[in-house]
Structures are given as structure tokens and as C-alpha cells.
Amino acid sequence: MQRIGVFVCWCGTNIAGTVDIDQVKQAAEKIPGVVNVQDYQYMCSEVGQNLIKNAIKEQKLDRVVIASCSPRMHEATFRKAAKSAGLNPYLVEIANIREQCSWVHKNKEEATEKAIALVRAAVAKATLNTELVPGEIGVEPRALEIGGGIAGIQTALDIAEAGYKVDIIEKTPSIGGKMAQIDKTFPTLDCSACILTPKMVDASTHPNINLYTYSEVEAVQGYVGNFEVTIRQKARSVNADKCTGCGICTDKCPSKKAESEFDEGLRKRGAIYIPFPQAVPNVPVIDREECLKFKTGKCGLCERVCPSGAIEFNQEDTLVTQKYGAIVVATGYDLINLDKFGEYPYTEHPDVITSLEFERLTSAAGPTAGKFLRPSNGNKPKKVVFVQCVGSRDKSSRGKTYCSKICCMYTAKHAMLIKEKYPEIEVYVFYIDVRTPGKNFDEFQRRAVEEYGVNYIKGMVGKVFPEGDKLQVHGVDALSSETLIIDADMVVLAAATKAKDDAQELGRKLSISTDANNFFTEAHPKLRPVETHSAGIYLAGACQGPKDIPETVAQSSAAAAKAIGLLNKGKLVNNPCVSQVDEQICSGCLACTKMCPYEAISSQVIEVKEQGKIVKKTVAHVNEALCQGCGGCTVTCRAGALDLKGFMNRQILAEVDAICL
């Protein structure tokens, strides 16, 4: 007969307030096999744990049942305590009489009855528990960074500095992300390129960092510590090893019709181009949709002028497969499309621009060399109107319900940048609320109003009418209820931020989830902000939600710390509660292999003795390192040949019997 100990926790009044502890104890004592029953106010406390440990030793217990909170809360705690007392931790069973009982019931009598049933079930299962020993898996000491914006760069640098190899996959031809497009940064107004470029260079020259630019994630397999990622390196049509970045090809390219992505369409670029002067790597790429050689077969001028023979028209995409211990997702964000906002004639009028276009127009490296001029006629504007919350905090189908968080600050920045250069320009800002929490943020916005005389108007713009060479802005001042008409020369729209269009697709490849707005979901909104629900995959930057640079960088270093912690372990203990095949029963139908979401089951041929003869037989085979213990296969198996260790069919049935019989 087994020697089972039952320990009933009060959890202060959390359990004891609704469940009669004494009755539970009395009932437990009557269950066959139970030799010791004790209660305590907080079983998870050190005193409580010692109580369990002593009982195991003194009473020679070989099974332990703890009636307490959810196993998600303290199963690990109690298993550890049992282990230190010399008992295999998998012989500990939890009866959840808090979340599943005392918290959800009011009637003490009924709750007590239910608690007793739950204890009985746990004892029935514990009786059948067997000793399990977890195995170990190695951790590949290399991390992958998806996305090469400031988030990806910062995380990669931190991980590389800790001594681990990091690869960055960046979709576009250069790393840098949106920060590279920004002119000056709030709240200090330091030049964005001046603080970003050195980091980009560090990333490209660090011995531990390897860049895959113009590349994408093709497929992801494996699991924490052992991801196997296939990377698609798109054909650049330029040999990066031979190219010296001299730029002759981009100068000579006769096709100059494409809109520069980096300059938000405010400037044209060639079919062979380097996205911006500080691009890393400083290697051009051929846009095959625009290139005359690809379109018509003629031209090939770049090939002729290249002094180092680096142009390779016949380059093809290449696939590289690499193993990683940890993955950090840092794919950033975008701004919404403004097609549906017809009241601001953005699509029709060149002087109505987005905030990101504004950044390019004030940048010294931008299309106007930093002179703030009207795109329509090249004249200096006299009045500029900023409209905030274009699509943010907007419940209609064309907008986003959330606050984009960065616009109040960058609009204040834009207003000051204008005033700094041209104090005579009148600047108006329409806002719903000014939201500037953050270190030195509110002071920054107030400076725009108090020192620079920017006109802040609480209210929305109803419509912008192009009138002659002016943009007549019709708005309302909600504080005075006055309708305002401003004859502006330019209108700048703070378009809402949005998740990347391919976020869901990437999420599926990585088995990580996205929220209602397609931003990646963190494992816990407060306590695990950079982890995902998939072990070994972390989040950094605006791909998790709108963020400014300070917050992005803080989160990036946090993600790096998590990744380093994982890589540093070297080995991981794996969950022994995995599936196992009874090869005698298995019919080899392999329905389980199709069901398994982790590709942990394969087939194998074994030799068995049948009626005295040795015959070959196909059976399912579980890769214990890949199995996550979900149990899906056990219910798929028609023959009942699959069973989950720690949750065997007969254990579950014993629980059911204990409750129902």
C-alpha cells in the first residue's frame, strides 16, 4: 500500500473563507492509502514547505497531494520542496481548490463538498503517478534578430557584447528602420543620424554580428534552444563582396522613375540604388521591376561602368539554414494609409503631407536639403497646420482605436523645428488631447507653446478645402466652440501607427500570437513584457505596440537580457511529461503524425516477433525533445497506443472515477 500525504492550504481566507478545512481533512483521512493529513495557513511559505518536507521524511511518504491554488501558481514550488526531501517531484499532485473552487463559489457547504471531491481525484491520480526524470537539451549559442531597426540593432549589440553570435535579418536593403528617416529626435532634438549611424556601423563591424539585409524569414522549425531558421536572401543583383560602394552605377542608371522609399516618395531614385547615403551595407540593389535590363533586355549600363565587376544580373535568391538558441522579433511598425481620409485631400494635394514626409522635408539630407518648402511650388509656407490623431483613437473602420503614442511628441517637435528655422511661419496644431507622459516630455511640449508660440487648438479639423494656392482648413476650437477657418499653405497629418502588414504571417511562422490590432502579444502585459508565449522567442520595439525610441531601446535591452540568460544556460531541462508509443498496440496508421503541431512524431520500422517469426512493422516514434506534451496525439490515436507521461489515460480516468463514482 502506498503512503500518501495530503496537505490542505488555507491561503489565508482565500480558501478557508469558503471551504471548511477541517471537513476536507477528515474526508482525506478516510481515503485508502492516505497516511498523513495536515493543514496550514500558507503552504507555499517556508514554514509550509518545511512541514511537507518533514512529513515526507518522517512519515516515509511516497506520494504527496497538495490542496491549494492552481498548479500554474505553485506546482513548481512544491515539486522543488518534495525533491529536496528526496521524493521524485512528479509524485506530487495538486488539487486546485482555490481558482477552481473557493474563488468561484459562495456557498460554503457546496464549496467544501467540491473541495473534497477534488482532493479525492488528486489522490486517485497520485496513486498512479510514476517517477519521471527530465532529460536535457543543448542550447545553440547563437541568436537571431528579425528586423534591423533601432530595436533590432540595440538587441543585437547587447547580445553580441555578451559574447554570443547574432544574425540580423532585415527585409529592406539597409538596416536602420524608421529612425534613419527621422531628422531630429525628441525630447532632446539631437540629430537622429548622428546617434543612429554609429550604432549601424557598430552592428556591421562587430565580430559577433552577421547581417542578412534584403532578406526574409522563409521558415522556422524547432523549439527553444534549437530553432532552425531558413533565411531567404533576395537577389540583390550586386555582388556584395566585390562592390566597393563607389556609387558610379547609381549615378549612371538611366531609369530614374521609381519613388524613393526612404524619402517617402518625395524624391526619385534609380533602378539601381542605395537607399540613403549612410546605408549599411553600402551596397546597391537593383529594383528588378524598374530596371531596363530586366524589363526590356537592353541597357546594362551599370554593368559596364562598374569598376569592380560587381553587377550580377543573373543572381538568384538563396536560401540559408541556420540554428539559433533564441529569436528576437523587432519588425517595427508602419503608418496607416490615408486613402480613406478624403476630408484631408492627402492623395490629391502635394501640400498635404504625412508626418514622416515632414521628417524628410526638414532633414538636411532630404530632397530639399533641409529647407522647408511647399512641395507644390517650392515656396516657403506662411502658415502650417498640423492635425493630430488622424486615424488614432478612431473607432470607425478606417482608423485605429488605440492612441499612437508618439504623435503628440513628434508634432511638438515638428512645430518647434519650423519655428526654430523660420520664426515668422505661423504654426497651428489641432489636437484631441495632448498626451506627453515621459521623462522631460511635458516640458518639451510646453516649450513649443510657451517659448515658440505654437498655436495649440483643442479640436478636430472637419475638412481641408484646396482654394486657389491655399489649403483652407475648417476646424473647430472645442474650448470656445468657435468654428475656425485657417488659410494654410501646408497641412501635416499625424497618421496613426499600425502593425506591419505581414505581422500575422510572420507570427504564424514563429507560432507567436498577435493581438486584435496585429501587434505581437507579450506573454504578460505587466510581468513578462518582452517574452512571447513561445519559449525562446522575445519581442523588442514597436512590433509589440507603438513606442518611441527611448522605450524601444529599453525594451530591446530587456529582450537582449532574456536572450542572453537563455543562451548562457547552455542546457535546458525538458519536460518529461511527453507522449510515448506502445509499439505493441500501434498499428502504424500515423494519424498522430498529421495531428502533431510540433512535428514531434515520425515513423520508424521495427522488428517484432509474431507467431515465432520476426516481422518488420511500421510504428510511430516520438521525438521527446520536440514533444510539448499537449496530448493531442493521445486522443487522435484510434488504437490507444499513445499515452502522455504524467497524464496517462488511466490516471485521468482514475480522477474521473474518484469524482463520479
Partner 1 sequence: MKFSYYPGCTLKTKAQELEKFALNSAAALGVELEEQKEWQCCGAVYPLAEDEIGTKLSSVRALAEAAQKNEKLITLCAACHHVIKRVNEDMKTKDDVKNKVNNYLQLAQDYQGEAEVIHYLEMLRDEIGFDKLAEKVTNPLTNRKIGAYYGCLLLRPAETMNFDDPENPSIIEEFIKALGATPVKYPYRTECCGGYLSLDNKELAQEMTDNIMKSALKNEVEELVTACPLCKYNLENKNGKIAISYFTELLAEALGVKE
Ligand X SMILES: Cc1cc2nc3c(=O)[nH]c(=O)nc-3n(C[C@H](O)[C@H](O)[C@H](O)COP(=O)(O)OP(=O)(O)OC[C@H]3O[C@@H](n4cnc5c(N)ncnc54)[C@H](O)[C@@H]3O)c2cc1C
Binding residues vs ligand X (CB under 6 A): 146-152, 169-172, 177-179, 182, 185-186, 216, 330-333, 335, 355-356, 359, 406, 410, 413, 500, 502, 506, 541-542, 547-550, 552
Minimum distance from CB of 293 to ligand X (Å)?
Answer: 26
Task: Pick the closer one to ligand X by CB: 78 or 214.
Answer: 214
How is residue 641 written as a grid cell?
A: 497506443
Nearer residue to partner 1 within complex by CB, 282 or 472: 472
As a whole number of angstroms, the longest Cα–Cα distance in the chain is 101
- The reply on whether position 485 binds partner 1 by CB under 8 A is no
463 binds, among ligand X, partner 1, none (CB under 5 to 8 A by kind): partner 1
Distance linking the first and last C-alpha atoms of the chain: 21
Q: Which does 397 bind (CB under 5 to 8 A by kind): partner 1, ligand X, none?
A: partner 1
Site string for partner 1, 160-199 (x = CB under 8 A): ----------------------------------------
Residue 552 binds which of partner 1, ligand X, none (CB < 5-8 A, kind-dependent): ligand X
Tell the smallest beta-carbon distance from residue 380 to partner 1 (Å): 24
Asked if residue 340 binds partner 1 (CB under 8 A), the reply is yes
Instruction: Give whichever of 40 and 344 is closer to partner 1, judged by the CB atom.
Output: 344
Partner interacting with residue 644 (select from ligand X, partner 1, none; CB below 5-8 Å by kind): none
413 binds, among partner 1, ligand X, none (CB under 5 to 8 A by kind): ligand X
Beta carbons of 405 and 547 less than 8 angstroms apart:
yes
Q: 20 near 112, Cβ under 8 Å?
A: yes
Angle at 660 between CA 655 and CA 661, to 5 degrees: 100
Q: How many CB atoms lie within 10 A of CB 41?
A: 15
Helices (H), 246-289: 248-252
Closest CA to 550 of 441, 407, 656: 441
- For 106, other C-beta atoms within 10 Å of its C-beta total 8
Name beta bridge partners: 226.
223
Closest CA to 652 of 107, 128, 225: 128
Measured from the CB atom, the residue of 396 and 611 that comes closer to partner 1 is 396
Q: Which entry of partner 1, ligand X, none binds 466, CB below 5 to 8 A by partner kind? A: partner 1
Looking at this protein, which amino acid is placed at residue 613? Answer: K
- Contact criterion met (CB below 8 Å) for 64 and 125: no
Is residue 63 a contact partner of residue 127, using CB atoms and an 8 Å limit?
yes
According to DSSP, the residues that pair with 142 across neighbouring strands are 165
* 343 counts as binding partner 1 under rule CB under 8 A: yes
Helices 108-128, 21-29: crossing angle, 10 deg rounding? 40
Residue (of 87, 85, 89) closest to 49 by Cα position: 85
By CB under 8 A, the residues from 392 to 451 that bind partner 1 are 396-397
CB of residue 147 vs ligand X: minimum separation in angstroms?
3
- Site size toward partner 1 (CB under 8 A) is 15
In the complex with partner 1, which residue's Cβ is closer, 176 or 345?
345
Alpha carbon distance 646, 643 (integer Å): 9
Contact stretch for partner 1 (CB under 8 A) within 52-60, 113-121, 201-209, 334-342: 334-342
With binding defined as CB under 8 A, does residue 594 bind partner 1?
A: no
Q: What amino acid is encoded at 98 in this protein? A: R
Nearer to partner 1, 26 or 347 (CB): 347
Give the integer Cα–Cα distance in Å for 397 and 395.
7
Q: Which listed residue (86, 207, 297, 468) binds partner 1 by CB under 8 A?
A: 468
Report, in Å, the least distance between residue 195 CB and ligand X: 10
Residue (228 or 343) nearer to partner 1, CB: 343
Nearest alpha carbon to residue 409 among 549, 553, 557: 549
Closest distance to ligand X from the beta carbon of 122 (Å):
46
Q: Using CB under 8 A, pick the residue from 222, 332, 345, 545 that binds partner 1.
A: 345
Helix (H, G, I), strand (E, B) or coil at 407: helix
Which of 451, 192, 500 minimizes the C-alpha distance to 331?
500
Please answer whether residues 584 and 606 qualify as being in contact, where contact means their C-beta atoms are separated by less than 8 angstroms. no
Tell me how far the alpha carbon of residue 211 is from its chain's centroid. Answer: 20
Rounded least distance, CB 384 to partner 1, Å: 19
The partner in contact with residue 151, picked from partner 1, ligand X, none with C-beta cut-offs of 5 to 8 angstroms by kind, is ligand X
Look at residue 186 and give the partner it binds from partner 1, ligand X, none, a contact being a CB closer than 5 to 8 Å depending on partner kind.
ligand X
How far apart CA 538 and CA 654 sit, in angstroms, is 39
- Nearer Cβ to partner 1 (343/426): 343
Map grid coordinates 538558441 to a residue: 325
Q: Which is nearer to partner 1, 443 or 465 (CB)?
A: 465
In this structure, are strands 4-9 and 258-259 parallel, antiparallel, or unpaired?
Answer: unpaired
Which of the listed partners (ligand X, partner 1, none) does 359 bind, with a CB threshold of 5 to 8 Å by partner kind?
ligand X
Residue 535 β-bridge partners: none
| 342, interface contact from partner 1, ligand X, none, CB < 5-8 Å by kind | partner 1
Binding residue for partner 1, selected from 60, 72, 256, 463, defined by CB under 8 A: 463
Report the residue from 467, 469, 482, 599 that binds partner 1 according to the rule CB under 8 A. Answer: 467
